[in-house]
Amino acid sequence: MKMLPAAMTLLSYFTLSMTQPTVLPMTATPSASEIVAQVRNMSMAQAVAMWTRVDPDNEGIFSEQTMAKLFEEYDSNNDSHVSQEEFTQRFGANEPELNSLGVALFALIDMNHDGVINTPDIRAFYATIDTNTDGHVDRQEFVTYFADLIMAMFIAQLQQMQSTTPTSVTGPVG
C-alpha cells in the first residue's frame, strides 16, 4: 500500500478505516460495557490517526480551508458542489457495502439539506466540529467529534449487517 498524501480526505480515511478488519479482543463473555469500551478505544485510535493525516506539520489546528480542500476531491465534475452520487461513489469506492453509510454521512454534512455539499455546508459542518466556537478546530475537538462519529458509523454498520444477515430455516428431514 502506498503512503497516503497529507491532503487525503477525511472521508476517504473513514472508508479505509471502516473497511479494515477490526478484531475486538474478546474474553469469555464480555459485558456490554466492555464491548462499548473496546469500540470506543478503536474509534479514538482511528480519530487520532485521522488527525495525524490532517495535521502532518503538527500545527495543532485543522482549518476550514483544509476541510474545503479535502471536499474538493469529492467534486468529480468540478462544479463546486458535491452531489450525493459523487459523495457515495467516492466514499464507497473501496467497499460498495459502505454506500448506505455514505448516504447517511452525506445527509449529516449537507447541513442545509439542499441535496449538495457546498461552501455553506462545509462552513456549518466545520462550526459543528468547533465545539468551543473559537473559529479553529484543535486536536481535542477533532478527535472527540470524529471518534464519536466513527463509533456511530461502526454501530450503524453492525446494525445494517445484522438486519441483512439471512437466517437459516430448516425443514423436516425426510
Can you give the residue range of the structural domain that contains 71?
Answer: 10-14+35-161
Model-wide pTM > 0.75: no
Chain centroid to Cα 19, Å, comes to 11
Q: Which residues contact 11 (CB under 8 A, 6 or more apart)?
A: 70, 74, 87, 90, 91, 105
**pLDDT, position 133:** 94
Domains identified in the chain, total number: 1
Check: CB of residue 152 under 8 Å from CB of residue 159: no
Residue with cell 469469555: 28
pLDDT, position 159: 77
Beta-bridged to residue 116, according to DSSP, are 83
Helix (H, G, I), strand (E, B) or coil at 117: strand
Indicate which CATH number applies to the domain containing 122.
1.10.238.10
Phi/psi of residue 8, each to 5°?
-60, 150
Residue 153 has which C-alpha cell?
458509523
Residue 22 lies in a domain: no
Give the pLDDT score at 104: 82
Q: Assess if residue 25 is contained within a domain.
A: no
Cell numbers given for 172: 423436516
Q: Is residue 57 included in any domain, yes or no? A: yes
pLDDT at 126: 95
Segments in the chain below pLDDT 50: 1-19, 21, 169
Any residues with CB less than 8 A from the CB of 148 and at least 6 apart, and which? 43
- In-domain check, residue 92: yes
In a domain, 99, yes or no: yes
